[in-house]
Amino acid sequence: MINPLSAKYSETDNRQLVQQALEGNRSALDQLIHLHQPFIYNVAWKMCHNPHDAMDLTQETLLKVITKLSQFKFKSSFRTWLYRIIVNEFLLSKRRETELQFSSFEAYGNQLDAIPNPELTQDERIELRELSREMQIRCLSGMLMCLTREQRLIYILGDTFGVDHSLGAEIFNTSKQNFRVKLHRARKELYNYMNNKCGLVNKANPCRCPKKTKALKAMGVLNEKEMQFNLAYKNKIADFVETAHEEVKAVIDKKYTALYRDHPVKNDFDKKTLIDQALQDDELMQYLK
């Protein structure tokens, strides 16, 4: 996967692709879109808690980028311009069903508490290992959904994907200090909940992913044939993060950040998508002129 947050990211190459696209070069537009699509999708996936909703949001966002590309005046970096559009689209898009399922940390905690904690044999632990991983990722993703949209997006970009405060401030069109304050608040809410509920962060907590997995499988809620998160992707979010922020190092217990960075990312977009169709649409391409 191409990492747009990498030090290897070339603003010059991106601006050249934009210029060529505005001159009618569809191959350049295709390169530009597919350069940024994986990162946009994986942020959307963390935002939506559902891979299908994430694909819809990604396509809607990229269509918005295509139709607004002629408004890029080369006065700022293309990446900043692009991700401001993405942030606005993510924050203002229609609320999806998955968002309505997570009203608060308290309500989510009550749902988890209602799931039994049956004991497991060693054989059951081995048998349920992959499904337990699915349960863990789903649960952590659900915790993110309890944050407000802005908190969720700031946390996903700032802590999970390692966006530095300078770029984060540019993307959210705010000061570095304000970005740090908002990130701190989101981090604090998430950590406080996990420290009080999650056995992965605080071993004194009774909640254990394998036990919940056994109960949910017996209830028909989880099964190996319908996993949405624990898929055979080779890359992880941590692959995006090149350096650790001093602020992350200073967190009393940073294990919870590592839990999120260990989640898989999707980089296989072989199937034709709405964006591929849009790039071949003469009428839509008129918006670039």
Mean of pLDDT over the chain:
85
* Phi, psi angles (nearest 5°) of residue 161: -100, 0
Which range, of 136-145, 169-178, 274-283, averages the lowest pLDDT? 274-283
Place 288 in a pLDDT band, splitting at 50, 70 and 90. Answer: low
Alpha carbon distance 79, 74 (integer Å)? 11
Pick the closest to residue 168 from 182, 153, 158 (CA basis). Answer: 158
Higher pLDDT, 3 or 139: 139
Query: Which residue carries 């992880």 as its tokens?
Result: 236
* Phi, psi angles (nearest 5°) of residue 93: -65, 160
pTM (2 decimals)? 0.83
Segment 197-206, tens digit of pLDDT: 999 889 999 9
Segment 152-168, tens digit of pLDDT: 999 999 988 888 889 89
The confidence score (pLDDT) of residue 253 equals 47
Alpha carbon distance 51, 29 (integer Å)? 25
Whether the CB-CB separation of 70 and 287 falls below 8 Å is answered with yes
Whether the CB-CB separation of 98 and 48 falls below 8 Å is answered with yes
Res 114 pLDDT > 70: yes
Res 221 pLDDT > 80: yes
Alpha carbon distance 261, 162 (integer Å)? 9
- Show Cβ contacts of residue 207 under 8 Å, excluding neighbours closer than 6 positions: 112, 117, 197, 198, 199
Alpha carbon distance 47, 150 (integer Å)? 10
Under DSSP, is residue 205 helix (H, G, I), strand (E, B) or coil? Answer: coil
What angle (nearest 5°) sits at the alpha carbon of residue 123, between those of residues 119 and 127?
A: 95
Under DSSP, is residue 207 helix (H, G, I), strand (E, B) or coil? Answer: strand
Segment 17-44, tens digit of pLDDT: 999 999 999 999 999 998 898 889 989 9
Alpha carbon distance 264, 266 (integer Å)? 7
Alpha carbon distance 28, 159 (integer Å)? 32
